[in-house]
Amino acid sequence: MAVQIEIALPGETKVDALALPFAQPVGGEGARIVDEKLSGRLTRLAESGELRGERGEALLLHTDGDLDAPRVVAVGLGERADVDADALRTAGAAAATALARVGGSLAWLLDESLRVPLPEQARALVEGTIIGGYSPGRWKTQDEGKRPLEVERIVLAHFETPELRDAAELGALLAERTNRARDLANMPPNELNPAALAEHAVALAAEHEQLSAEVFGPREIDALGMGALAAVGRGSQNEPRLIVLRYEPPQPTHRDVLLGLVGKAITFDAGGLSIKPAARMEDMKGDMAGGAGTLEGIGAVAALQLPVRAIAVLAAAENLPGGHAFRPGDILRAANGKTIEVINTDAEGRLVLADALWYARREGATHVLDLATLTGAMELALGDLYAGFFANDDEWRDRVAAAGERSGDLLWPFPLHARYRRYVDSAFADMKNGSTLRQGSPVLAAKFLEEFAGEGPWAHVDMAGPGFLERSRGDYYRVPGGTGYGVRLIAELARELT
C-alpha cells in the first residue's frame, strides 16, 4: 500500500487523529496550543502520572469536538536530551499501534523545540508510522475484522518546504520498500522457493525503466563454475537460482563506480545433512532476509532514481538433507577456482556468497556490500538491534557505518585481522567452510568470504540478529518476523556514492 503524504498547517485538512510527540520535560508551542484547546486535559494527565512522555508510550484521547481531529494520540519520546531519529520512529510506531482499530489518516505535529531538525523529524515519523503499522499475519483467514488497520494518509502539520517534502517522501518510500522486504522474509517456504524469489525479482525490475533482471538456473550455474552454490542447492527438488539485477541510470554521477550488492537468499535452511535442532527451525524461512533486503534495496535505489550504477546478486537455494545433498568431507570448487573442504553443511551461507561475490566483481562492481543472516554468534554478541560488519578498506568501512547511523539499519565494525585466516586452513583443500574451535565464528566467516571478495572495497554485514526477529524489539519493530534490514542502509549508501 502506497501511503499518501501531505503537508498542511494545523486545521487545514481533516484527519482521523492528531499525533502529538511528548518529550521529557514537556515543551513546545504546539503541545501548549493543543493542551489549551483541550482545556488543560494533557496537563492534568501529566500531573496524575498517566502521561509521562516515556519513549514508545502512547495515550489515545477523544477530543469531543474541541479539535478538528476527533482523536489525539499523545506519544512519548523519552528524555528531551536523548531524542533522536530512533525515538521518533518509535513514536511513529506507537501512534500506528494506538490507531490499529481506526487506521485512516494521521497528522503529526512537529516539534521545533527538539534538537532534531524538522526534515529529519518528518522522515523518522513517517518511517516509524509505516514500519510500526506493519502486520505479518497476511495468511490469517479468521477474524478478518480484527486485523489491525494501517494508516493510509500521513499529514505533517507544518508549512511546506522543499526539504520537508523531500524528507517525508523519502521516508515513505523507504519504509514501504522495507515492508516489502519483510513480506518476502515472512513468506512460508512452501510459497517462496528460489524460483519464486526469482519471479519477484523479475516483477520488481518491470516496475522500473532502468532496472533489469536476469535469472540463472542450474545449467547456467554449472556453466559458470559455481560449484559452491550448486552444491548447497542439490539436496532440494527446488533447484537453486542466481538472481542478478542491474540498475543503469541514464546519467550516473560517476560512470566508473558500480555499487555491488550481494545477498544470501537461502529460502529455507534445515542445515543440510548437518541438520539443525527442531526448535525454532520454522524461522529458517528467514534465512533469505539478506537477499530480501538486497532485492528491495536496489529497488529503492531505482525508485529514487539515484544517479549511481548498481548491481545486485542474490544466491538463492534451499539447504535440505536428501539423497543428492552435499556432505561433510566433500571438496567443492568455487567459481574463482579455489577449493573448499566442507566440514559442516550448515555453514552454507558463506558457500553461496562465495560464488555470488565473485560474480559481482566479474561484472565490474567497484564497491561491494554483502548482506547475510550468517552466524548465530553475531546475534549472541549484538542481539537484535545491531548487525556486525567487516570491511577490507577503512574508508569504505566508515562510509558503511555512517550510512547505517543515518538510515536506522544499525551496524558495528568488527576486526578483520589477517591472523584469523589460519583458522579456516584445510589439510586437503585451499580452505574449509568453518572451524571446529568454538571461537570467533563471525570473523572466521568473514575471512572465508574475503577469499572471494576480489580487489577493491568490500564490506560483509552479518545481520543474523536484526534481520529476523523472534519477538517485538520494543521500538518501531513491534512484531516478530522479517524486518527488511538492509533496504534503508543500501539506499543511504547509494545516496552517499552519488
| Catalytic positions, written as ranges | 276, 350
pLDDT tens for the chain, residues 1 to 498: 689 999 999 888 999 999 999 888 877 777 888 888 998 898 898 888 888 889 999 999 999 988 889 999 999 999 999 999 999 999 999 999 999 999 999 999 998 889 999 999 999 999 999 999 999 998 998 777 778 899 999 999 999 999 999 999 999 999 999 999 999 999 999 999 999 999 999 999 999 999 999 999 999 999 999 999 999 999 999 999 999 999 999 999 999 999 999 999 999 999 999 999 999 999 999 999 999 999 999 999 999 999 999 999 999 999 999 999 999 999 999 999 999 999 999 999 999 999 999 999 999 999 999 999 999 999 999 999 999 999 999 999 999 999 999 999 999 999 999 999 999 999 999 999 999 888 999 999 999 999 999 999 999 999 999 999 999 999 999 999 999 999 999 999 999 998
241 has which bridge partners?
Answer: 316
- Provide the grid cell at 111: 516539534
3-state secondary structure of 340: strand
Residue with grid cell 545449467, as numbered in its chain = 219
Residue 155 has phi, psi (to 5 degrees) of: -110, 130
Query: Is the Cβ–Cβ distance between 365 and 341 less than 8 Å?
Result: no
3-state secondary structure of 44: helix
Residue 174 has phi, psi (to 5 degrees) of: -70, -35
Whole-angstrom distance, CA of residue 487 vs CA of residue 498:
17
Q: Long-range pairs for 275-281 at CB < 8 Å and ≥24 separation?
A: 275/321, 275/346, 276/346, 280/470
Whole-angstrom distance, CA of residue 269 vs CA of residue 478:
25
Core vs surface per residue 197-233: b (16+ CB within 10 A) or e: bbebbeebbeebeebebebbebeebeebebbbbbbbb
